[in-house]
Structure 1
Amino acid sequence: MTDENNQLKTTIKELLESARYNQQTQDRFYALELYFLEANSYELLIRRILTDLKRQLKLSQVELFLLDPQQETQQLISEIYGQLNYKNLIYTDSISEIKALYSGDIHLILSNEQHDIAKLGPGMSQSVALLPLRRGNHIIGSLHLGSRDQQRFHPGLGGEFLLHLGTMISVCIESSINQERYKHLSLVDLLTRAKNRRFFFQALATEIARSKRSKKPLSCLFIDIDHFKAVNDLHGHLTGDRALRCVADTIGPLLRQSDVLARFGGEEFTVMLPDCDLSHAKEIAERIRDKISHVDIANDNNQNFQLTVSIGVSYWQEDQQGFADSEAIQNHLISQADKGVYRAKEDGRNCVRVVEIVAVDNNKNPD
C-alpha cells in the first residue's frame, strides 16, 4: 500500500510538473505573440522577427523570405525607411523560388537532414524548421529557423506551436505593410514620390536632436525651379508635373541614404543633409544645380526643353552657432536657406547662394 501511495505521489508530481512546464511554455508564447503584435511599424516588426526571435528562442539562424512580385513592398519600405540592411531578409518575385525550398508542396518542414539544412544560408545549424507564411489560401513568404541542437526540429516533433507562430507572423506582416501604405500616403508627395513637407519637418526635428547630441553639423538646401510658371503657361500643367517628377528623380541619386529629399510646396524642394558641413553642402548643391541644367524634359509634343534651379544653402553646428532651443535651430535652417534662394534669384538664377549670419551666443548677458 505504501509503494502504491509513493507511486501515486510520484505520478501526481510528474503531472503537476508537466502542467507547470506547459503553462510556462504557453505563457512565453503568448508574451512572444504580444511582442510581435505590438510592433507599430514594418521596420520594427522585421527587426523583432530577424533579431529578437533568434535571441528569445535561442536559435542559430532566422531567415525571412517574402513574396513581392511587383517589388511594391520593397519600393514602399525604401521610400519610408530607406534600405533595410538585413542579409537574412530576402524578397522574391516568384512563388516558384519558395516552392523550390519546399521541393514542391509547401508545408511545414522539420528536419535535421543536411539537404534541408543547406536551404538556409551559411551557419552552424544542425536542425531546421521551414514555416510557410500564408494569408488565406495565398503564400506570402517563408520563415526559416535554425538550431545548433540536432533534435530541436526533428521530423517527429509536433508542429502546432510553429504553425501558429507562422500564422501569427503572417498576420503581423500583412497588417504592418497595410499600415505603411497609409503612412506612405501621409508622408510622401504622390506626384514626385519625394517626401512631403510634413515628413521633412518631422525628420528635421529628429536630426536636430541627434546633431545636438553628436555635435555634428547639419545642412539644408532649398531648391526652387526657375521660371516654373512659364513652363506651365507654355507647355501645360501635365508637362509641368512631368518636370517636377524629373527634378525629383534627378536629385535623388545624388544624395546619400541618410539625406532627405522633400517637396516643400509648388516648385520648391528641400534637402536635409545630416553630418554635412557648409563646404560639402555647397558642393552637393552645385552638383544638383549642374545635373538638373543638363536634363532634357519632353513636353506633350515630344519637344525637349531644359530647366534651371536656384539653390539656397543653410548650415548649423552645435558648438559654432548658439540658439535657444530646437525650434530656433529649425527656423534658422529654413529661413537662411530661403534667403539663399532669394539671393540666387537676385543674382540671375541658376546658381547656389549662402546667406550667412553672425552667430548669437545666447549664454552671454548684454552689457
Structure 2
Amino acid sequence: MTPQDIVEFLSSRPEFFSEHSDLLAQLSVPHPTHGHAISLTERQVLTLREKLAQVQSKLAELVSFGEENDVIASKVHRLSMALLLADEFEAVSAIVYAHLQEDFAVPHVALRVWNSILKRDSEEFADVSEELRFLAADLHQPYTGPAQHEEILGWFGESSGLIASMALIPLRRDAQVFGMLALGSEDPQRFFPGMGTLYVERIGDLVGAAVLKHVG
C-alpha cells in the first residue's frame, strides 16, 4: 500500500474516523516548527491558526489599501472643488501648484499648455518642441518612471538636477493633447514604472478641464 492509496481510501471514506474515533487520540504527527510529536487534533488546531493568521494579514492589508484610497480620494475632491471655484487661468495654475505640492506632497510641479485659443504671457505657455508634442500625443496613459527627458526637466528650473522620478500627465481636449502636467520627485521610487495611475489620470482630467474652461 502506497501513501496515495491511503489518501484515496480516507478521501472515499469520510466516516472512517467517526467509526474509529479512538484512533484520532492515538495518532501523532511532528510539530511544524519544533519537531516533537503532537496529536493530530493539535496539528489541526495549528493549521487553523496559521490559516486564520493569513486571513487576518490579508484583511489588514485590504483595510490599509482602503484607508489609503480614501485619503487620496479626499485630496482629489478638495482639488476638484478648488478648481470649480477658479475664475481665471491664473487661479487654476495657482491651485494646481498649491494642492499638488502641499496636499499631495509632490515637491516639483510644472504645467505647460500649447495650441490654446487664449494665450498668456507666463511660463505655462512657453514654447515646447515638436518632439515633445509628439511624445505627449503618444502617451495613452501617464508616464511614471525615471526622470529622463531633458526638455521637461528644464521646466523645473534650478531643481531640474534633483529630480529622480517623474509623472507626465497629458492634458486632452477630446482626443487631442493640448498640454502636459509634470510631477517631479527627488525620490526615485515616488513615481515608478507599472504603478497605479488611476488617481493621476483623474487629476489630469480635472486640470485639463479647468484649463480649457479659461483658455480654450
What band does the TM-score fall into relative to the shorter chain?
Answer: 0.5 to 0.7
Whole-angstrom CA distance in 2 between matches of 1:127 and 1:153 = 5
1:200-239 superposed matches below 5 A:
none
Question: 1:97 Cα deviation (Å)?
Answer: 5.3
Whole-angstrom CA distance in 2 between matches of 1:135 and 1:106 = 14
Query: Is the 2:110–2:183 contact (alpha carbons within 8 Å) kept by the matching residues of 1?
Result: yes
Aligned partner of 2:152 in structure 1 is 119
- Specify the code of the residue in structure 1 equivalent to 2:125: I
Gaps of 5+ in 1: 75-82, 179-367
Whole-angstrom CA distance in 2 between matches of 1:49 and 1:152 = 19
The answer as to 2:151 corresponding to 1:105 is: no
Aligned-pair RMSD on alpha carbons?
Answer: 2.7
Whole-angstrom CA distance in 2 between matches of 1:137 and 1:12 = 40
Whole-angstrom CA distance in 1 between matches of 2:204 and 2:63 = 30
1:1-367 superposed matches below 5 A:
1-68=48-115, 72-74=118-120, 87=123, 89-92=124-127, 96=130, 98-99=132-133, 102=135, 105-107=138-140, 108-113=142-147, 115-116=148-149, 119-121=152-154, 122=157, 123=159, 124-177=162-215
Whole-angstrom CA distance in 1 between matches of 2:180 and 2:70 = 28
Residues 105, 8 of structure 1: alpha-carbon distance in 2 compared, 3 angstrom cutoff = closer
Whole-angstrom CA distance in 1 between matches of 2:69 and 2:190 = 17
Question: 1:106 Cα deviation (Å)?
Answer: 3.9
Gaps of 5+ in 2: 1-47
Poorly superposed stretches of 4+, deviation over 6 Å:
none
Whole-angstrom CA distance in 2 between matches of 1:69 and 1:23 = 35
Whole-angstrom CA distance in 2 between matches of 1:128 and 1:3 = 41
Whole-angstrom CA distance in 2 between matches of 1:105 and 1:154 = 19
- Aligned-partner SS, 2:178: strand
Whole-angstrom CA distance in 1 between matches of 2:115 and 2:138 = 20
Query: Is the 1:60–1:125 contact (alpha carbons within 8 Å) kept by the matching residues of 2?
Result: no
Question: 1:38 Cα deviation (Å)?
Answer: 2.3
- Specify the code of the residue in structure 2 equivalent to 1:24: V
Query: Is the 2:79–2:99 contact (alpha carbons within 8 Å) kept by the matching residues of 1?
Result: no
Question: 1:95 Cα deviation (Å)?
Answer: 7.5
Question: TM-score normalized by structure 1?
Answer: 0.40
Whole-angstrom CA distance in 2 between matches of 1:42 and 1:58 = 23
Show CA shifts across 1:61-87 (max 9, x none).
Answer: 2111111467x422xxxxxxxx55xx4
Whole-angstrom CA distance in 1 between matches of 2:54 and 2:195 = 29
Residues 52, 14 of structure 1: alpha-carbon distance in 2 compared, 3 angstrom cutoff = closer
Question: 1:146 Cα deviation (Å)?
Answer: 0.5
- Aligned-partner SS, 2:149: helix
Count of aligned residue pairs for this structure pair: 163
Question: 1:46 Cα deviation (Å)?
Answer: 1.3
- Aligned-partner SS, 1:119: helix
Residues 31, 90 of structure 1: alpha-carbon distance in 2 compared, 3 angstrom cutoff = same
- Specify the code of the residue in structure 2 equivalent to 1:126: A
Higher relative contact order structure (alpha carbons within 8 Å, sequence separation ≥ 6)? 2
Whole-angstrom CA distance in 2 between matches of 1:24 and 1:69 = 34
Whole-angstrom CA distance in 2 between matches of 1:6 and 1:61 = 42
Whole-angstrom CA distance in 2 between matches of 1:69 and 1:32 = 23
Identity of aligned residues (%): 22
More helix by share: 2
Whole-angstrom CA distance in 2 between matches of 1:90 and 1:73 = 7
Show CA shifts across 1:257-306 (max 9, x none).
Answer: xxxxxxxxxxxxxxxxxxxxxxxxxxxxxxxxxxxxxxxxxxxxxxxxxx
Whole-angstrom CA distance in 2 between matches of 1:69 and 1:22 = 34
Query: Is the 2:75–2:104 contact (alpha carbons within 8 Å) kept by the matching residues of 1?
Result: no
Whole-angstrom CA distance in 2 between matches of 1:104 and 1:42 = 23
- Specify the code of the residue in structure 2 equivalent to 1:73: K
Question: TM-score normalized by structure 2?
Answer: 0.64
Whole-angstrom CA distance in 2 between matches of 1:96 and 1:118 = 11
